Amino acid sequence: MRAFRAIGIHGAGLKWPNDVLWQRQKLGGILVEMKGSPEGSQDAVIGIGLNVAFPEADIPIVQPWTDLAALMGHPVSRNDLAAQLIHQLLEALPVYKQQGFAAFLEEWRAYHAMEGRHVTLSLPNGKAVEGEIQDIDAEGALVLSVNGGRRRFLAGEISLRTIS
């Protein structure tokens, strides 16, 4: 979101756990793979995929999507975008290392595009849970209201499908 602001994109949002949206259209995604022990050192590989410029031809994508060139009304320099992303990561990663996700919680909440939505979560074990998105907590877990109670979800392969 910080890199977007720096290149003039405003109004983008986040869909937990890893989607970047523009008015409920997918603009990109983020994937973080961690290796290591919770008590020791950890390595992370961060993948950021952004829809920079799709051709006008029919693209077989089954969900609403958009790209940065369409939003900006002109081509976007991939080099400038990459430079901004790297700059923002170099600022954020040391903070994350020291303070964890909690240091970014309020900023994340400001971009939370799905709060209050009724959703179905598809869990890694094949089960599904329906509920209303309440929040993201200081550990990055999704908090859902399910059958009158609050439940946290922090699994790596959860997908969200909007009901309403």
Summarize pLDDT for 39-83 with one digit per residue, the tens: 777 788 999 999 999 876 667 777 888 999 999 999 999 999 999
The fold for domain 2-110 equals BirA Bifunctional Protein; domain 2 (3.30.930)
Answer yes or no: is pLDDT of 17 > 80: yes
Give the bridge partners for 65, in sequence order: 26
Summarize pLDDT for 117-153 with one digit per residue, the tens: 888 888 888 888 989 999 999 999 999 999 999 999 9
Query: What residues does CATH 3.30.930.10 cover in the chain?
Result: 2-110
Q: What is the pLDDT of residue 57?
A: 64
- 134 backbone dihedrals φ, ψ, rounded to 5°: -100, -40
Q: How far is CA 13 from CA 4, 23, 34, 102, 150, in A?
A: 11, 8, 24, 18, 24
Among 113, 145, 151, which Cα is nearest to 131's?
A: 145
Confidence band (pLDDT; 50, 70, 90) for 156?
A: very low
Tokens of 27: 């603009």
E strands in 64-158:
118-122, 128-136, 142-146, 149-153
69-72's contacts with Cβ under 8 Å and 24+ in sequence apart are: 71/9, 71/22, 71/27, 72/7, 72/8, 72/9
Q: What is the pLDDT of residue 163?
A: 63
Mean pLDDT (the chain) is 89
Domain 118-162 has CATH 2.30.30.100: yes
Answer yes or no: is pLDDT of 92 > 90: yes
Answer yes or no: is pLDDT of 114 > 80: yes
CB atoms within 10 A of CB 79: 8
For tokens 């946290």, name the residue: 152
Global confidence as pTM:
0.85
